[in-house]
Copies of this chain bind each other. A is one copy, B any other.
Amino acid sequence: MASEINTNAPVTLINSFEVPEDRLADAVRSWEQARDFLKEQPGYITTRLHQSLSPQAKFQLVNIALWESPDAYQAAIQKLGKSGIVAEFKGIDFHAALYTVIREDE
């Protein structure tokens, strides 16, 4: 299990979006604006936006990003919040959390 949280180790942000079909293009545009803002912030490593192959999936979009530390991510997200970009995700539920890898192939 992930016992103590190492506030200096890289972390994985996983953000699952519940997107109504008619809001998909809006959500991707808003994601692009947020990415362009966040990738300039200290501690940003990389990000990938995934789209579900099935229109029935609960989460049509899932963002998976790497950050140098939980603190770097939290600072960047607070700045993003003040930038007003996130406003365009209104009406789109998302579940964002930071993760650490605890098991792999072996």
Contacts and interface: CB of A to CB of B under 8 A. Distances in A.
Nearest to A16: B16
Contacts of A57: 95, 97
A83 interface: no
Given A1-B28, A14-B62, A62-B14, A51 B100 contact: yes
Interface residues of A, number: 39
A79 B50 CA distance: 26
A87 interface: no
Interface of A: 1-2, 5, 11-12, 14, 16, 24-25, 28, 31-32, 35, 39, 46-54, 57-59, 62, 64, 70, 95, 97-105
